[in-house]
Each structure stands twice: as structure tokens, then as C-alpha cells.
Structure 1
Amino acid sequence: MHRDALDLTAAGAKATPHFPPIVVNRAARRPGSRLRVVLLNAAGGARFRELLACLQRKPLEGADVILLCEVNSGLRRSPGRDIAEELGEALGMSCAYVREFGFSRQGKENETYMGNAILSSAPFADVAAIAMHNPRPPRVLPRRDRGVTRVGRPTGLITRVKFGPAEISVGVAHLHSRCTPAERARQMADYMESFPTAGRVIFGGDLNTTTTELSDRASMVATVWQMITNPNRFRAPQAYEPLFDHLREHGLEIDGVNVANRPTFTFSGLIPRSMRPKLDWLAVRGLWPIAGTAAVVTPRSPILKRRISDHDFVTVDLEL
């Protein structure tokens, strides 16, 4: 899910973030010989307690870097009013959060916000918000978005963290779910313009690699037909999504840190696993995954057996 405002940036002008990053640093945890990285589109994060419980169980417990997309703040009826900050407090981790969009109804001031976050077991040296291309809103809006006023634009985060003597750049981004693959590639190009050209890097996000456009009913019908006739493209979208070219150009690798051909998104339990898409990705440079640690983990409460997000956790351990 991605709710966008209109792109008001003049043609050719460099986009600027609508909101500044919010940073809460805490004391560093003693580093080990490996780094555990976890990624999730939290679907807002309103089920805060269940989300926290998932992060405190194997194989996610003890994560050193947690990358979160679509985390809300300003929620009045949520157990976690500012989801990322409260997760950081509960886990004893530093937190960097950037609001992408503010939402309100009937002309009121912004009531809730949606954004991206990085949690780290070591404090941040610096944090930068990176604004990206803002594709046009879909021609058919979900019912929940009708009558909602929104401000902002797609915005990722980049930061530097020292895990013991090792300095690593860490980034997160959330790309558009309804636009064409070419526009997602443009978003990635915008983000990568500010990415460090050398050194060790961890990057991840909900890249929404649907391989198609989902802006109107006709494109949705065409996508359903593709799901039936060529389902493999949704679990291995690299050939259909040029955004991966920008990752390669910057020396980032996805092999070994992601489970190949394993979907990460379940919009309905009635859809066979073979037809579900792989939307969530990790990428690294100058770091190596530990064999057998890459995993896709269902975000489910062990008691209620209910999902807390329509996305799955993605995780891997890296040699430090």
C-alpha cells in the first residue's frame, strides 16, 4: 500500500523532503561477530504488541538492524502512538524515523503520519532524509483513501552506524505500488543519487516489485491474467523491474541475502503461494551473508495465529 500526494516539484528540480527525520540515539549494544538484519512493511503497525512479540522471538530476536516501511505515528487509538520510536524504546535500540505523508480528513490538521524507520543496536552518526520521484496517484483510489487529504512525498532514509570498529551505511526506502516499473526505477535512481559510492552498505525496503502497473481497473485485470499465465515473474521480478539495475550500478548485491523465488506478500490467503509476489528486498555491499540464515518469516502471533501485516519479515545474518 502506498498513498501519494501530487508531485509539485518543478521539472528538473531536485526534490526535497517534506518532513525532517526524527532521531533518538541510545547507547550501543556490544557487537558480536555477525549482524542480524530484519526488514518489514509494518502495514501501519497498529498491532504494536504483536509486532514487538515477533521481533523478540527466533529467528528475529536480537536484530542489530531493523528496517521498517509504512510505520505510522500520531495514532490516537493505537497501543503504540509513535510505532517506530516505541519499538526502539522497547528493544533498547536507536531509532531514526521520517514521515513521508501526513493524513487528515475534512480539512483538519494532519492527524496521522506514515513513514519509514531504521532501528539500530548502535547509535547513528548522521541521518539524511532522501526525497524521491512522486508518481501520479492511481486513477482508481481505494475507498479508504477517498476524502482524505495528504501532504508529503516518498522519502527514504540513509544513515551511518558504527558496529564496534565497523562503519556501515544503512538505508531504507518504500517504492510506489501502483506505478509502472519505469517510474519505480526513477524513484530508485533518485534515492541512489545520495547513496555512498564506496564502503559497506545495508539497504532494504518494500520495493513493490509487482512487475506491472496497477493504476486502473484495466491494468489490474491485465495483472491478474499475468498471475494466471506467468506466475513465476512475480516471485522472480528482476528481469521486469529496472530498479535492480540501479542497485547493481552501485555495487549492491541481492543474492544470498534474500530467499530466491520466495514471495513476501499475501494480499489474500486464498491466493496460492505460487502466485504471490516478492516485494520486499535486502541488498548489501562489502558484507557477506552467513549461509542458511536468509529467511522469510510470517508476521503472526503464536496465540491468535493472525497476521500483523500483509507483508512477511525478511531477515539475514551478515558476517561482521
Structure 2
Amino acid sequence: MLAITGATGQLGRLVIEALRQEVPAAQIVAVVRDVHKAQDLAEQGIQVRYADYNQPESWREAFVGVNKVLLISSSEVGQRTGQHHTVIEAAQAANVALLAYTSILNAERSSLMLAEEHVATEALIQASGVPAVILRNGWYSENYTMGIPAILQQGVMIGCAGDGRISAAPRRDYAAAAAHVLTHEGQAGKIYELAGDHGFTLTEFAGYLSEATEQTIAYQNLSEADYIQALESAGVPAPFPMVLGNSETGAAAGDLFSASSDLSQLIGHPSTPIKVTIQETLSEIMK
């Protein structure tokens, strides 16, 4: 059986959707903190099991009979290392054949504050001795396309990434890669640098959006401090303004770019260009 943590999250649901094309629903275990949010998964025949990071024993129970686990990194920045450790120990106790972990692109050299907990988690996995594969996911295209409504309203896109290139891809591409790894043997010991084939700068992003909407959208590059302040003024809750500002400064330094073709090789086709994701987002907005 294949267990997916964070199964009702944005990435988790897409991984399960991809797995449904490869394995019977009964072989998929959706591990969640709120079983009510997973009712639709249960109705598909997927096993829904409860687990909470604050209850280590719940993870041991969730992994009974499981032979492969996808640990999707927690969303609770600052608490993730301890939370991931709980899952790793449960996977070790369950003697799983494979633990896959969604880390971050260029983890070992990244200056992003987000990388710290990923590097720590990778070290914990290695020390555990559990057979593992590391999926170092690049930036999600949705990190930028989700802001399109506000960008169109304001007529400008702001950031602090300078001319840094960003090797992003939509979540569904990363989900397909994870599903491939879980359903194909010989993955233990591998580290994949998963990056979109078509890097872009935020100036180019603004240009693609301008082209798609026939509206002139400029990219305004700010200092990291000014960008953080703008996000705070817009009501973005802590700690995300600081995390996003730091991430874009990292992008300016090349931390969100990679020439790796691991992603397209795993999914069997080129990754989805940002132009396509922009068009898809605009189509959803117009519905």
C-alpha cells in the first residue's frame, strides 16, 4: 500500500489523482489530520487514516500495512523538522520499503530560509536508515499565478527577484513525478532535482500576462524590505511576507533555477510552460 501524507492538501490531492491512474484505490492510504475533509477520497475507495504530528502513535497506526510513504513537507514553517521526524520514525517502525520526501530545489546550496528545514529533514532521513528517495521540488507556478487577479487589478506586478530565472512548474507536474516514483522500483538512494524546463524571470512573467490579457502589466522590482512591507500592508499573514521576500532574493541569486531535466524525464514529457499556466488561470478567473 502507498501512503500519502497531507493528502487533502493541494499537492496531496493531485498525487492521489495521478496514482489512481496506476493503482487500485484500495491500495492508496490518505493520511490526514481531518478525516471529514477526506470524505470524497473515502467515497472513491481510498483508505483514509487519521494522524496528527502531535500524536506520534497515530502515525504508527496510520502506516500499518504500508510499504511506501510519500512525506509531503508540512506547511507549518518553523515546526517542520520536528513534525517530519515524527513521520520518519513511524516509517522506520513500519519497516517501509521506501520513503519519498518532497524537499526543495538546490537544497544543499540554497540560501532560502525555507531550505533549512528541508536540509535538516534530509539529514534525519539519511540517519534513520530508511530506504528513501528525495524529490527536490522547484517553485510551483501557482505561487505566481495565484496572484494574477490582484496583479490585473493593480496593473503592476511587484517582487524582489530581479532578473533571477525561476524554473517553476505547476503542482500537477510535481504530483505526476511523485506518483511515478512511488509506482516504479529502484528509487531508493536517488535524489531528484525537479525543475521546470522553461525558466522565466518575473519581467517575462509580466510580459506573458500582458500578452494574454492585452493589458499592459509592468514588473516593478523592489528591495526585499520594501517587498516584505508591501505584502504586510496587503494583509499577508506572518511569517509569509518574510519567507516570500527571502525566497525572491534567493531567486535573484539563482537558487530557484536549475537546468536539470529530472522532472520531464520522470513524467515522460516536457513540463508545463508558465505561459500555459497563466492561460489556464485566466480561464478559471473568467468562469
TM-score by length of 1: 0.34
The structure richer in helix per residue is 2
TM-score by length of 2: 0.37
Larger radius of gyration: 2
The structure richer in strand per residue is 1
